[in-house]
């Protein structure tokens, strides 16, 4: 310690006013957060408020209606075909209301989710418990997520037309299931890995078969994760636009495709109606998303970040 | 007789334990992954086979021949050659890369800054987090539509700008070819900054407090803590976030389609829109297949480079974990709490 | 190189008073230990000195300069955390150099290098400099943590249970090392521990804390020989101390106490201010404390035997044996040489000097002197 000279005494008599504790007031942070939050919230505010605006307030030239002046629920009733008004060009142009696309959206999303869950859970269990496919399989499955869906479904389109799966529920359900399957595998794998191996082994020792052990001992342990995965995958399927757009026609197409079809028709854009439709489309994923808040990041990072 | 009995007893527990023998386990494992494999084969192998086949032809459904007779239009690599020498294709590729890089960078920086702001607990944090969560939940096509409304020349964005700036602002967000590509990016940034925020928030919250305190005591200011402590310790999380988001941004389709359909002209046509147009508008299915194959090859190479750092980082992490565990075997503390959270991928 | 003065230092976490009106002066260049059970507020006190926590009330002075408005980076303190808080993504070298590299302006490379190597020599890490810290043993992590704080030559050195994770032999070694280093660099050191042996062995002065309050502040000798209250008496000492209920009574001009219910001989405590009720000549019950090492075992009928008891267990510690004894109604312990001819079940007489006896008021738990 010969290199350590005696220290002069008053190093800490630094100017107290420069300390960050004194300078950084909490309200600066609060203002910043509120500003950024409102920036992120504004588009949602706009679509909700638009859905309650009557036609003259939609997008008149030279004037912006920041809030509905004479709020109405006509957009919703017109959209769902509950009421026909002479005002609605829409009602005369299209025979079908938004009910059919919504029904299709639900059938296809639920079907695709169930398929992905079934295939994904067993694969994940195989990987997590038996190292099925070696260490590479999970990465191969992940790689699938990298391909632009367009590049995959265009060749599938010819194939679908040829084998008569084009514009059918089954055709889309299989695609939805396959596209979201990697998410299920990665998520469920991360949940299964949290379950101690001893649980299934104990069940087997108690006389269960492998299947029995899986259903009676392991699956109950990941109930929460399973529910979260299901809702998460449902959100993904519900959010699809491209597959339904390419693979279906009017009869089997989904609500997002319907939303797009309302854009730029002969009567111009049907903002109010579209906004109502958009709000209805946002609602289920928003509810489910908040319900599985805890698992959202885990889902979107393929289980890599567990919070 | 007694000997016989004891033999049965000895065998019974064994027969009641399927799955503990190696062969049995392998059989179960194969059975378990079979449905998934089938599904993958259906959407990977078939389309790949079809695309390779059709990609060698100039087939189009409007040519009069059906799918099974596409070979009548066989032309080997002409489709590929056309794509590789096509300015439109390369421009679409370039736009895809530009959109990906800009979006992911902005999202990461913004998300990180937000996470830094909100990492300390304060009243109303839950509410704010929910606020930031919502954009992520919006159906991408819907977010495209929402911004379509916002960016009308007479829409609220110009309205707000007119209120702040002198005169009437009439920016053609969607119609001006030089502006539109940036407009398109804002949708992705709006929608996915929250994901970055949440990922980084969980990463920051898991940083070991003592290390941060030690750095402060040793005299590290805000930027120094960030540069020498926070960022290096979050390396893996940041990498994961960038790669995952990059892959998704590369594929972007729905919002662009709802906003501009790739226009004006081809100003916002990325590779997804390009492929879609070639298929559904031009119906040049043979050519579209060649392009699809090219994109798959390109993505596979990019993906290989993208996943490698994750695997490497994970190896390092595992090593560190092993070291920490070996020490923890004594009375030592678990040093590596931060990395533990991310040890998964 | 600074005096630390705490004045009415207080920290509340919601309703919990972690630290409650603490007054303490650590002289320039001294080695102070904060001693107490977990939850006594010693770590919170330490964090406030370092600037990691803001006091609810009161003030901290470094050489008469109030510092509670300063952030930790401005206080020129060194802090060694219980879990070392080593930067896991750096090498040992980078860890040691960290404090210097944070200086504004940053010192030249060769100067940093010189300092790092000098410190590495001091703490004994010269061979491991280029290693990643994840490959270090716990002992080396401890050395690295120490060196990393030393290198910036803080005016005040704070250590929060730094040795609690080390194995026993290395702990003893590090204790001696720390003492040596403190002598060499001459900084004011504050050391938090719950281990009274560690505190007694290293510190110039010890502050015993319990439930956020200072119980006693003094040299190891004072704490051992003149505990101010029952808590301190109980906390200091390597073997479980002996507490016996006693009743004081007048005896001539003086005062004696007898151990309750054992028919013990009177112990003369006339030199203490034992309160006696005037008329009855007897006072309220008190508690007597005598350290096991002051308890002698004699023949059951010896004159000096104050009480009789029997041996219930013998616990050999190597250099000494701890003898567990049963009296009528109480258990006590004594320390004896291993070659003493004692067996479990033996009846023995128990003796100790009146001067070695500490008396405590049962109500206030304060010492009666």
**pLDDT on residue C206:** 92
- Indicate if A56 and A146 belong to the same structural domain: no
Among A33, A158, A282, the residue with its CB nearest the CB of B54 is A158
On whether any CB of chain C is under 8 Å from the CB of A162, the answer is no
- Indicate if C61 and C131 belong to the same structural domain: yes
Task: Tell me the C-alpha to C-alpha distance, in Å, between residue C131 and each of C85, C91, C122, C137, C329.
Answer: 17, 5, 18, 11, 60
- Indicate if C73 and C177 belong to the same structural domain: yes
Strands C188-193 and C156-160: parallel
What strands, in cross-sheet order, belong to the sheet with C156-160? Answer: C77-80, C156-160, C188-193, C31-35, C205-210, C213-218
The structure's pTM equals 0.80
- Indicate if A292 and A194 belong to the same structural domain: yes
Q: Is residue C343 part of a domain?
A: yes
Interatomic CA distance for residues B16 and B236, integer angstroms: 45
- Indicate if A188 and A290 belong to the same structural domain: yes
Q: Is residue C283 part of a domain?
A: yes
**pLDDT on residue A267:** 57
Interatomic CA distance for residues C200 and C232, integer angstroms: 13
Residue whose entry in the numeric block shows the structure tokens 């885990």: A298
Which residues, including other chains, have CB under 8 Å from residue A135's CB and lie 6 or more apart? none
Give the three-class secondary structure for C309: strand
Kindly report, residue by residue over B10-48, the tens digit of the pLDDT. Answer: 333 333 344 444 566 777 777 888 888 888 888 778 778
Q: Is residue C122 part of a domain?
A: yes
**pLDDT on residue B186:** 92
Q: Is residue A275 part of a domain?
A: yes
Q: Is residue C174 part of a domain?
A: yes
- Indicate if C21 and C170 belong to the same structural domain: yes
Calculate how close chain A gets to C200, using CA atoms only, in Å.
26
- Indicate if C247 and C223 belong to the same structural domain: no
Q: Is residue C226 part of a domain?
A: yes
Kindly report, residue by residue over A222-239, the tens digit of the pLDDT. Answer: 888 888 889 989 988 998
Greater model confidence, A27 or A280: A280
DSSP string, C49-117: HHTSS--SEEEEEETTEE-TTS-GGGS-EEEE-TTTT--TTSBHHHHHHHHHHTSSSPPPHHHHHHHHH
**pLDDT on residue A265:** 57
Query: Would you give the DSSP letter of residue A95?
Result: S
- Indicate if C195 and C269 belong to the same structural domain: no
- Indicate if C92 and C148 belong to the same structural domain: yes
Q: Is residue C178 part of a domain?
A: yes
- Indicate if A88 and A175 belong to the same structural domain: no
Domain range holding A71?
A: 24-93
Which residues, including other chains, have CB under 8 Å from residue A248's CB and lie 6 or more apart? A104, A167, A172, A254, A257
The chain A residue lying nearest B289, using CA atoms, is A155
**pLDDT on residue B205:** 82
Domain range holding C355?
A: 242-368
Kindly report, residue by residue over C108-120, the tens digit of the pLDDT. Answer: 989 999 989 988 8
**pLDDT on residue B182:** 92
Which tokens in the block code for residue B60? Answer: 């189009």
Interatomic CA distance for residues B230 and B62, integer angstroms: 59
Among C85, C104, C135, the residue with its CB nearest the CB of B211 is C85
Choose from A36-50, A73-87, B66-80 the range with maximum mean pLDDT.
A36-50
The chain B residue lying nearest C158, using CA atoms, is B217
Q: Is the dihedral of CA A214, A218, A224, A226 positive or negative?
A: negative
- Identify the domain boundary among C232, C260, C277: C232
Longest dimension (CA), chain C: 83
Greater model confidence, A218 or B108: B108
- Region A61-65: what's the mean pLDDT? 77
The chain C residue lying nearest B224, using CA atoms, is C102
ipTM of the complex: 0.83
Domain count, chain A: 2
The closest of C66, C45, C63, C202 to A7, measured between CA atoms, is C63
Q: Is residue A7 part of a domain?
A: no
Interatomic CA distance for residues C348 and C342, integer angstroms: 9
Interatomic CA distance for residues A88 and A86, integer angstroms: 5
Q: Is residue A137 part of a domain?
A: yes
Chain A residue numbers with beta carbons less than 8 Å from the beta carbon of B293 are 151
- Indicate if C219 and C269 belong to the same structural domain: no
- Indicate if C45 and C163 belong to the same structural domain: yes
- Identify the domain boundary among A47, A74, A93: A93
Q: What percent of chain C has pLDDT over 70?
A: 97
Q: Grade residue A109 by pLDDT with cuts at 50, 70 and 90.
A: very high
- Indicate if A199 and A157 belong to the same structural domain: yes
- Indicate if C172 and C316 belong to the same structural domain: no
Choose from A39-48, A89-98, B156-165 the range with maximum mean pLDDT.
A39-48
Best of C13, C89, C135 to disrupt the B interface (most B CBs within 10 Å) is: C89
Which residues, including other chains, have CB under 8 Å from residue C115's CB and lie 6 or more apart? A3, C97, C100, C151
**pLDDT on residue C298:** 85
The chain C residue lying nearest A12, using CA atoms, is C75
Which tokens in the block code for residue A92? Answer: 């005369």
B149, A275 Cβ separation under 8 angstroms? yes
- Indicate if C65 and C33 belong to the same structural domain: yes
**pLDDT on residue B44:** 78
Q: Is residue A67 part of a domain?
A: yes
- Indicate if C225 and C246 belong to the same structural domain: no
**pLDDT on residue B301:** 84
Parts of chain C with a pLDDT under 70: 1, 277-282
**pLDDT on residue B126:** 76
**pLDDT on residue A110:** 93
Q: Is residue A13 part of a domain?
A: no
- Indicate if A201 and A79 belong to the same structural domain: no
Cβ contact, residue pair A16, C2, below 8 Å: no
What CATH code is carried by the domain that includes residue C298?
2.40.50.140
- Identify the domain boundary among C175, C201, C232: C232
- Indicate if A280 and A149 belong to the same structural domain: yes
Which tokens in the block code for residue A239? Answer: 């959010």
Among C134, C138, C141, the residue with its CB nearest the CB of B319 is C134
Domains of chain B: 85-340 (1.10.3720.10)
What CATH code is carried by the domain that includes residue C221?
3.40.50.300
**pLDDT on residue A82:** 61
- Identify the domain boundary among A34, A65, A93: A93
Q: Is residue A33 part of a domain?
A: yes
Calculate how close chain C gets to A45, using CA atoms only, in Å.
38
Parts of chain B with a pLDDT under 70: 1-24, 121-123, 309-345
Asked if the peptide bond before residue B264 counts as cis, ω within 30 degrees of 0, the response is yes
**pLDDT on residue A5:** 38
Among B61, B149, B295, the residue with its CB nearest the CB of A151 is B295
- Indicate if A152 and A61 belong to the same structural domain: no
**pLDDT on residue A264:** 67
Task: Tell me the C-alpha to C-alpha distance, in Å, between residue C238 and each of A151, C67, C224.
Answer: 76, 37, 11
On whether any CB of chain C is under 8 Å from the CB of B328, the answer is no
Kindly report, residue by residue over A130-157, the tens digit of the pLDDT. Answer: 776 666 666 667 777 777 778 778 778 8
Kindly report, residue by residue over C273-293, the tens digit of the pLDDT. Answer: 777 765 566 677 888 888 888
Residue whose entry in the numeric block shows the structure tokens 């957060």: A33
Chain B residue numbers with beta carbons less than 8 Å from the beta carbon of C89 are 232-233, 235
Cβ contact, residue pair C71, A21, below 8 Å: yes
- Identify the domain boundary among A66, A93, A120: A93
On whether any CB of chain C is under 8 Å from the CB of B320, the answer is yes
Domain count, chain C: 2
Q: Which residue stretches of chain B are H helix?
A: 2-15, 22-40, 46-55, 78-84, 87-118, 125-137, 140-150, 156-164, 177-205, 209-217, 222-225, 231-233, 235-250, 254-259, 271-276, 285-328, 337-340
Partner chains of A (3+ C-beta pairs under 8 Å): B, C
- Indicate if A85 and A109 belong to the same structural domain: no
Task: Tell me the C-alpha to C-alpha distance, in Å, between residue A41 and each of B127, B136, B171, C50.
Answer: 12, 12, 22, 41
**pLDDT on residue B187:** 93
Residue whose entry in the numeric block shows the structure tokens 């009666």: C368
Cβ contact, residue pair A12, C74, below 8 Å: yes
- Indicate if C118 and C8 belong to the same structural domain: yes
**pLDDT on residue A15:** 40
The gap from C-alpha C297 to its chain's centroid, in whole angstroms, comes to 29
Cβ contact, residue pair B213, C72, below 8 Å: yes
Q: Is residue A19 part of a domain?
A: no
Chain A residue numbers with beta carbons less than 8 Å from the beta carbon of B38 are 119
On whether any CB of chain C is under 8 Å from the CB of B218, the answer is yes
**pLDDT on residue C207:** 92
The gap from C-alpha C121 to its chain's centroid, in whole angstroms, comes to 30
Which tokens in the block code for residue B132? Answer: 């930031």
Which tokens in the block code for residue B3? Answer: 């000997």
**pLDDT on residue A13:** 40
Q: Is the dihedral of CA A129, A130, A131, A132 positive or negative?
A: negative
Q: Is residue A107 part of a domain?
A: yes
**pLDDT on residue A117:** 92
**pLDDT on residue A114:** 93
Best of B120, B208, B214 to disrupt the C interface (most C CBs within 10 Å) is: B214
Q: Is residue C237 part of a domain?
A: no
Chain B residue numbers with beta carbons less than 8 Å from the beta carbon of A210 are 18-19, 28
DSSP string, B178-219: HHHHHHHHHHHHHHHHHHHHHHHHHHHHTS-HHHHHHHHHTT
What CATH code is carried by the domain that includes residue A221?
1.10.3720.10
Q: Is residue C262 part of a domain?
A: yes
Mean pLDDT taken over chain C: 84
The closest of C278, C239, C274 to C256, measured between CA atoms, is C274
Chain C residue numbers with beta carbons less than 8 Å from the beta carbon of B237 are none
- Identify the domain boundary among C179, C209, C232: C232
The chain C residue lying nearest A7, using CA atoms, is C1
Interatomic CA distance for residues A260 and A106, integer angstroms: 18
On whether any CB of chain C is under 8 Å from the CB of A23, the answer is no
């Amino acid at each position: 310690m010969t290199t350590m000279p005696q220290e002069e005494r008053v190093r800490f008599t630094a100017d107290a006013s420069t300390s960050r504790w004194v300078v950084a007031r909490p309200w600066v942070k609060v203002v910043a957060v509120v500003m950024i939050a409102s920036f992120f919230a504004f588009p949602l505010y706009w679509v909700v408020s638009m859905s309650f605006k009557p036609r003259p307030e939609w997008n008149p030239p030279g004037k912006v209606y920041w809030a509905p002046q004479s709020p109405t629920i006509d957009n919703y009733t017109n959209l769902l075909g509950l009421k026909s008004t002479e005002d609605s060009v829409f009602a005369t142009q299209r025979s079908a209301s938004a009910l059919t696309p919504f029904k299709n959206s639900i059938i296809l999303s639920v079907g695709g989710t169930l398929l992905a869950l079934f295939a994904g859970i067993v694969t994940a269990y195989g990987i997590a418990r038996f190292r099925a496919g070696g260490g590479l399989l999970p990465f191969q499955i992940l790689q699938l997520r990298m391909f632009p869906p367009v590049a995959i479904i265009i060749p599938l389109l010819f194939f679908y037309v040829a084998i008569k799966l084009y514009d059918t529920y089954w055709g889309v359900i299989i695609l939805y299931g396959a596209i979201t399957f990697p998410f299920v595998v990665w998520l469920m794998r991360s949940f299964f890995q949290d379950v101690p191996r001893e649980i299934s082994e104990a069940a087997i020792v108690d006389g269960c078969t492998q299947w029995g052990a899986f259903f009676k001992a392991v699956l109950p342990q990941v109930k929460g994760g399973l529910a979260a995965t299901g809702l998460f995958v449902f959100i993904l399927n519900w959010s699809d636009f491209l597959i339904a757009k390419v693979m279906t026609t009017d009869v089997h197409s989904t609500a997002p495709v319907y939303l797009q079809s309302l854009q730029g028709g002969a009567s111009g854009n049907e903002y109010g109606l579209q906004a109502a439709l958009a709000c209805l489309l946002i609602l289920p994923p928003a509810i489910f998303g908040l319900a599985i808040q805890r698992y959202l990041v885990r889902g979107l990072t393929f289980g890599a970040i567990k919070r | 007789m007694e000997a016989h009995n004891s033999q049965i007893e000895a065998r019974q527990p064994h027969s009641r334990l399927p799955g503990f023998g190696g062969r049995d386990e392998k059989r179960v494992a194969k059975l378990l992954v079979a449905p998934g494999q089938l599904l993958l084969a259906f959407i990977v192998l078939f389309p790949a086979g079809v695309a390779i086949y059709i990609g060698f032809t100039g087939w189009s459904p409007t040519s009069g021949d059906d799918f099974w007779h596409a070979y009548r239009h066989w032309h080997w690599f002409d489709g590929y050659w056309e794509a590789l020498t096509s300015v439109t294709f390369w421009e679409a590729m370039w736009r895809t890369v530009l959109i990906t890089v800009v979006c992911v960078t902005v999202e990461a920086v913004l998300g990180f800054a937000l996470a830094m702001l909100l990492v300390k607990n304060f009243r109303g944090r839950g509410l704010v987090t929910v606020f930031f969560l919502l954009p992520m939940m919006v159906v991408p096509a819907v977010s495209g539509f929402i911004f379509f409304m916002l960016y009308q020349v007479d829409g609220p964005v110009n309205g707000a700008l007119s209120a702040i700036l002198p005169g009437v602002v009439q920016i053609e967000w969607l119609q001006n070819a030089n502006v539109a590509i940036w407009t398109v990016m804002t949708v992705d940034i709006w929608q996915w900054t929250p994901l970055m925020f949440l990922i980084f928030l969980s990463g920051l919250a898991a940083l070991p407090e003592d290390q941060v305190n030690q750095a402060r005591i040793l005299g590290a200011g805000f930027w120094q803590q960030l540069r020498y402590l926070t960022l290096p310790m979050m390396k893996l999380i940041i990498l994961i976030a960038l790669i995952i988001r990059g892959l998704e941004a590369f594929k972007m389709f729905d919002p662009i389609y709802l906003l501009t359909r790739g226009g004006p002209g081809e100003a916002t046509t990325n590779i997804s829109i390009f492929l879609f147009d070639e298929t559904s508008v031009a119906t040049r299915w043979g050519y579209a297949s060649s392009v699809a194959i090219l994109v798959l090859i390109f993505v596979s190479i990019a993906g290989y480079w993208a996943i490698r750092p994750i695997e490497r980082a994970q190896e390092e992490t595992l090593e560190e974990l092993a070291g920490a565990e070996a020490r923890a075997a004594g009375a030592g503390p678990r040093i590596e709490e931060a990395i533990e959270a991310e040890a998964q991928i | 190189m600074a005096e630390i003065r705490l004045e009415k230092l207080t920290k509340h976490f919601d309703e919990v008073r972690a630290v409650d009106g603490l007054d303490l002066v650590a002289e320039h260049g001294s080695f102070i230990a904060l001693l107490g059970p977990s939850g006594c507020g010693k770590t919170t006190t330490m964090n406030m000195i370092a600037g990691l926590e803001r006091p609810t009330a009161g003030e901290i002075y470094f050489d008469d300069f109030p510092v509670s408005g300063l952030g930790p980076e401005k206080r020129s303190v060194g802090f060694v955390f219980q879990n070392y808080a080593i930067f896991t993504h750096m090498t040992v070298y980078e860890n040691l150099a960290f404090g210097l590299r944070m200086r504004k302006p940053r010192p030249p490379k060769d100067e940093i290098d010189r300092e790092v190597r000098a410190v590495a020599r001091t703490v004994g890490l010269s061979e491991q400099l280029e290693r990643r810290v994840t490959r270090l043993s716990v002992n080396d992590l401890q050395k690295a943590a120490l060196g990393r704080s030393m290198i910036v030559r803080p005016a005040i050195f704070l250590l929060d249970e730094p040795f609690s994770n080390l194995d026993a032999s290395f702990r003893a070694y590090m204790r001696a090392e720390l003492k040596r280093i403190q002598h060499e660099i001459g900084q004011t050191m504050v050391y938090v521990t719950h281990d009274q042996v560690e505190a007694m062995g290293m510190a110039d002065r010890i502050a015993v804390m319990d439930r956020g309050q200072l119980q006693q502040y003094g040299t190891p000798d004072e704490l051992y020989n003149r505990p101010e209250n029952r808590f301190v008496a109980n906390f200091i000492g390597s073997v479980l101390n002996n507490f016996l209920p006693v009743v004081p009574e007048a005896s001539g001009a003086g005062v004696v106490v007898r151990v309750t219910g054992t028919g013990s001989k009177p112990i003369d405590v006339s030199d203490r201010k034992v309160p006696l009720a005037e008329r009855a000549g007897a006072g309220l019950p008190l508690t007597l404390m005598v350290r096991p090492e002051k308890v002698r075992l004699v023949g059951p009928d010896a004159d000096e035997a104050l009480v009789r008891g029997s041996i219930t267990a013998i616990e050999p510690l190597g250099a000494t044996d701890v003898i567990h004894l049963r009296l009528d109604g109480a258990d006590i312990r004594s320390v004896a040489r291993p070659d003493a001819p004692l067996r479990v079940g033996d009846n023995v007489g128990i003796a100790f000097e009146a001067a070695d006896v500490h008396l405590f008021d049962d109500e206030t738990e304060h010492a009666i002197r």
